[in-house]
Amino acid sequence: MSGALVARGLSFQYAAGTEPALRDVDLRLDPGEMVLVAGPSGCGKSTLLKCLNGLIPHSYRGALSGSVELFGERTDGMTLQRISAQVGTVLQDPDKQLVAATVRADIAFGLENRGLPRAAIRNALEEAAAALKITPLLERPTAALSGGERQRVALAGVLALAPRIMLLDEPLANLDPATAMELLAFVRARTRNGLAVLVVEHRVEDVLEVSPDRVLYMSGGRIEYAGGVDGFLRVADPQAVKLPFQAVRRRFATATPPPRPSPIKGEGDSRGPREAVPLVTYDQVHYAYPAGDGEAVGGISTTLRSPSKMAILGPNGSGKSTLLKMALGLVRPDRGTVVVGGAPTTAQTVAQLARQVAYVFQSPRQMLFANTVREELAFAPRNQGLEPAQAEEIGRQALQAVGLDQVDGIWDRSPYALSFGQQKRLAIATALTLRPRAIIVDEPSAGQDYGQAAAFLDEVGAIPGLESVYFITHDVDLALLFSDRCLLLRGGRLEAQGRPLEVLADRARLAAFRLRPTSLLAANLAASLPDGRPLDAVDLALRLQNPKTIP
C-alpha cells in the first residue's frame, strides 16, 4: 500500500475512554484523489483525522497502535510542524481554529509563522480570500462573523498554506447549501492539480454531487466499506446517513424494511389541544453590529408562537442568529421592540428571559465552561437556589432528554473530552436545566448524523414542560420534516414565512435564498400525499412501494 497518506492497522483508545475509538483501520489516500468518509456520529471519523494529522498522539493522550505514513515516511518520528507543512486540517468547529482579531490577520497567521516575506504573505492571503469569496470580509473582526463566514475563513487560512493534503472535518456544517456546493466544487477542482482530499461529512448527498473517487463507510471505529459510490449506497444505513432519496427507494423496493422507530413528527403533527399564542413578538426591529457592514436585521416584524416547532432558514450572514438572540436580550435592537412573554425585553434581565426562551449557540464551546458534566448541569439550578439533590435530578432529566445518559462515566467527564456532537447535546441539556417554555437551537444538526439529528429533535419536542422549539438551520430536509412553520431571511429582512411544504416548494425562492432543493423535498412534492404531511426518506419509500404501509 502506498500513497500520499497511508494508515496501517490504526487503533486508538482515549485515556478517558472505555472502548477503542478506532479499531484496526487501513486506508490509502492518493495525490489528486477526493475520498468521502461517512458514518454515524461517534463511529471514529474525527478520531481518524486526528491520527492522520498528528494531533494524536501529540495533543491527545491514549493508547495508539499501528502506523501512519506521509509520502512514505512514518509520522511517529515527525513533529507536528513537519506534518502540518504538508497536511492542512479544517476542524469541525471553526471557533477552535480562528486565532486573530481580524480576518486578514487570521489568514496571515500561519504564513507569518513560516517566516515568509511580506509580499508572499500578501499574495497567498489575497489569493485564498478571493478563491473563497471572502475578500469583502478581510478587515472584519472575526468575532463579528457568522458561523458560515467563520468556516470559510478557517478554510482560507489552511488553503493559503498550500498543503499537499487537506483533511476536512464536517466543512459544510455551518454553510448554506449554495455556499457548501461552491466550496466542494472548489476543493474538487484543486484535486486536479494533485491535492489529496479526505472529507468527513454528514451531508452525504451534497458531497456525492462532486463525484468523490471513493467512499469509506465507518461504524464502531472500523471501516466497514471502502470503494465506489454505488457500493456505498447499497450498504450505508439510511436511518443514520442521509442518502439520496432514489437510493433509499431502490433499497426498500427489494428488501424487507428494518424495524422502524416512532414516526418523525412532521408538518401538521399536533402538539396538543392548546392554541398557539405569541411568545416572542418583533415589531420593526433593526440592529447593526458596530463593526459590521450595514444592518444585520433591518425592520423585521413577526411572531414566534407557542406551542410551535419553527425553522429559520437563510444564507450565511442573513441575520438569523441575531434575530433570535434578541429574544434573550443578548442583542438589543437599535430601533423597534421585542416582547417576550408579554413584556418588552428592555424591562427584563437576561436571566429572566432565559427562563422563558433558552438559547443554544452554534458552537457549544460558547456555553461550556465547567470541569465536569455534573458541574455544568448543576450550574443553572444552583443559581436558582435549588438544593444539590434537586439540581442533580434536574440535570439527570436534561441529560436523559438529549440521549447522553447512556454514555459511560458521563457525569464525571470533562465537557471538553466529549465529541463535538456530544458537546452540542450537552449544551442543549444545560439550557433545559433552566426549565424554559421554549428553546432556540442554532444549527441542531451540526456534529450529528442524520438519524441522531432526527431523533434528537423528536426527543426535545417531547420534553415535558417544553412548549416550543425554534431552530436555525441550513438543512432543508430538517425544516421540512420537523417544523410546522418556516421563516426565510435574506439580507437582514424577513422575506417569506408559512408552512414548510409551501415555503420550500418554490425553486426560484430557494435559489434566491442560497438553498437547494433536496431529493427528499422533490420526492415529497411529486408524491402529493393526501394528508399533505411530508415523510422522511424511508417512510416515503415504503409509502410509494405500498400506499398502505404508513397509516
Q: DSSP class of residue 375?
A: H
Find the distance separating the first CA and the last CA of the chain, reported in whole Å: 52
Could you tell me which residues are beta bridge partners of residue 303?
Answer: 281
Could you tell me which residues are beta bridge partners of residue 340?
Answer: 280, 343
Per DSSP, the residues of 403-435 read T-TTSTTGGGS-GGGS-HHHHHHHHHHHHHTT-
Are domains 1-86+164-171+201-252 and 276-356+436-517 of this chain identical in fold?
yes
| Helix, strand, coil share (%) of the chain residues, nearest 5 | 40, 20, 40
Quick one: CATH architecture of 1-86+164-171+201-252? 3-Layer(aba) Sandwich (3.40)
Residue 397 contacts by C-beta under 8 Å, 6 or more apart in sequence? 432
Q: Outline where 169-255 has alpha helix (H).
A: 177-191, 204-208, 229-235, 245-254
Domain boundaries, the chain: 1-86+164-171+201-252, 88-162, 276-356+436-517, 368-435, 518-551
Residues 254-282 as b/e (b if ≥16 CB within 10 A, e otherwise) read eeeeeeeeeebbbbeeebeeeebeebbbb
- What is the reported pTM? 0.85
- Is 428 in contact with 348 (CB distance < 8 Å)? no
Q: How far is the C-alpha of 358 from the C-alpha of 368, rounded, in Å?
A: 15
Residue 118 contacts by C-beta under 8 Å, 6 or more apart in sequence? none
Residue 440 contacts by C-beta under 8 Å, 6 or more apart in sequence? 324, 327, 328, 357, 358, 359, 360, 470, 471, 472
Q: Which secondary-structure segment (H or E) carries 196?
A: strand 196-200
Count of C-beta atoms within a 10 Å radius of residue 151:
30
Task: Using CB atoms within 10 Å of the CB of residue 526, give its burial: 0 to 12 exposed, 13 to 18 middle, 19+ buried.
Answer: exposed
Q: How far is the C-alpha of 483 from the C-alpha of 470, rounded, in Å?
A: 8
Q: Do the bridges between strand 87-90 and strand 34-38 make them parallel or antiparallel, or are there none, so unpaired?
A: unpaired
Please give the grid coordinates belonging to residue 376: 455544568
pLDDT at 530: 74
Residue 242 contacts by C-beta under 8 Å, 6 or more apart in sequence? 202, 203, 204, 205, 450, 477, 537
Could you tell me which residues are beta bridge partners of residue 360?
Answer: 441
Q: Is 89 helix (H, G, I), strand (E, B) or coil?
A: strand
Count of C-beta atoms within a 10 Å radius of residue 447:
24
Q: Is 467 helix (H, G, I), strand (E, B) or coil?
A: coil
- Is 214 in contact with 228 (CB distance < 8 Å)? yes
Spell out the per-residue pLDDT of the chain, length 551, in tens.
468 999 999 999 988 777 899 999 999 999 999 999 999 888 899 999 999 999 999 999 899 999 999 999 999 989 999 999 999 999 878 888 899 999 999 999 999 999 999 999 999 999 999 988 899 999 999 988 887 888 899 999 999 999 999 999 988 888 888 888 888 998 999 999 999 999 999 889 999 999 999 999 999 999 999 999 999 999 998 878 889 999 999 888 765 555 444 444 444 343 345 688 999 999 999 999 887 778 999 999 999 999 999 999 999 889 999 999 999 999 999 999 999 999 999 999 998 999 899 999 878 888 899 999 999 999 999 988 889 999 999 999 899 888 888 888 899 999 987 877 788 889 989 999 998 999 999 888 777 777 777 777 777 777 777 899 999 998 899 999 999 999 999 999 999 999 999 999 999 999 999 998 999 999 999 998 877 789 999 889 988 887 665 54
- The answer as to CATH 3.90.1150.10 being correct for domain 276-356+436-517 is no
pLDDT at 374: 94
Q: How far is the C-alpha of 271 from the C-alpha of 483, rounded, in Å?
A: 11
Residue of 504, 451, 457, 92 whose CA lies nearest to 313:
504
Count of C-beta atoms within a 10 Å radius of residue 342:
10
Does the CA dihedral 339-345-347-350 come out positive or negative?
positive
